[in-house]
Amino acid sequence: MMTDKLLSPVRLGALELKNRVVMAPLTRCRAINPGTVPNELMVRYYTQRASAGLIISEGTLVSPQGRGYPFTPGIWSEEQIAGWRLVTEAVHAQGGKIVCQLWHCGRLSLPQYHDGQPPVSASAINPEIKMFNGAGLSDTVTPRALSVEDIQAVVADFGRAAKNAIDAGFDGVEVHSSNGYLFHQFFSACSNTRTDAYGGSFENRARIFFDVLDAIAKVMPLDRVGFRLNPMMNGMHGMTVDVDTVAMWEHVVRGANRYGLAYLHLTEVMDPKQIDGNPHALAQVSAHFRPIAHMPLISNGRFDQAKSEQFLDAGLCDAVAFGVPWIANPDLVERFARKAPLNAADPSTFYMGGEKGYVDYPALDPSLMA
């Protein structure tokens, strides 16, 4: 019997979830056909995992400009909408719910994805990291700073993508505003040195995010919209935690409170070494933002079942998002219900393409489930 809190129903905005086990957005690089269109293999993958209370799709590009990796799907074309509709219909047929994570990589990209031109960002600052090019790693380049007109076009792309997501049958959307991607690049002083209406003050650095929420509000109810933040991302993807990081992210969350959103998806500190000795860092992310946020919280960050129950019992979150466990365990909810051991994931197959390490992980043996 499903008696643990993790396995109990919960409501996130307009989303009624059958359990609190969320499937985190997981880039898997399987949209290998022309046009970055979701395919039959992806339908199988998501259908296998429809027992989740909520599936958050892999990062889904709002435009060709937003691309940063090979074989990642988009949602700007009719073909992509039709491909995603096959996914959402299959998930719904199994009683699942799924939202589309809307994504723009910004400067975390390579010229090869943009006809040899540099990617775009808040400011012309190279993150100075290496990015996957489909075969190996390449150094990032200095991006082109978006003009105000360019920013308005990006905002329109997100609004259009949200409408397309609804047309594709998604139950809602999540705005990917973390992990060093475009919104994070505007939020952080290390990547945003603008002096116009999109730089400088907290209000200005957050402006593009709220412009996007306003655009999405024109095409769908905001109680079907979530957003993701990873405020303690220090030393990864060219981002840093500095003197105003916590205050900046507090500004974003307080501003988001006005919108009646479905949820805030927060990432806990993944590796304590990232913030050790940093006087500006938070050791506990959900505990800090829980009293600030006026919407339900999803916590993420290397949780196991026991830690999840602790967070839920303490009221630190309303649901928990799992990443790698969902990769290797298509029946993760059933395994939690039975306290069964989990399959181990094979990282070498995370981004390699094909069925191996994608749709071939075994479920529990039915003969042992009586």
Q: How far is CA 348 from the centre of its chain?
A: 21
Residues in Cβ contact with 186 at an 8 Å cutoff, skipping those fewer than 6 apart: 122, 192, 198, 199, 205, 206, 207, 208, 209
Alpha-carbon Rg of the chain, whole angstroms?
19
Please answer whether residues 289 and 297 qualify as being in contact, where contact means their C-beta atoms are separated by less than 8 angstroms.
yes
Which among 122, 136, 135, 127 has a CA at the least distance from the CA of 108?
127
Residues in Cβ contact with 112 at an 8 Å cutoff, skipping those fewer than 6 apart: 133, 138
Beta strands (DSSP E) in the chain are 10-12, 15-17, 21-23, 54-56, 60-61, 98-103, 120-121, 130-132, 137-139, 144-145, 173-176, 225-229, 263-267, 297-300, 319-322
Please answer whether residues 125 and 146 qualify as being in contact, where contact means their C-beta atoms are separated by less than 8 angstroms.
no
Which among 19, 87, 17 has a CA at the least distance from the CA of 57?
87
Which among 14, 59, 17, 13 has a CA at the least distance from the CA of 257?
13
Answer yes or no: 181 catalytic: yes
As a whole number of angstroms, the distance between CA 132 and CA 57 comes to: 21
Please answer whether residues 229 and 252 qualify as being in contact, where contact means their C-beta atoms are separated by less than 8 angstroms.
yes
Please answer whether residues 55 and 49 qualify as being in contact, where contact means their C-beta atoms are separated by less than 8 angstroms.
yes
For residue 233, the tally of other CB atoms under 10 A from its CB is: 23
Please tell me which residue in 45, 113, 181, 358 is annotated as part of the active site.
181
Single-letter amino acid code for the residue at 11 = R
Please answer whether residues 267 and 286 qualify as being in contact, where contact means their C-beta atoms are separated by less than 8 angstroms.
no
Catalytic residues: 181
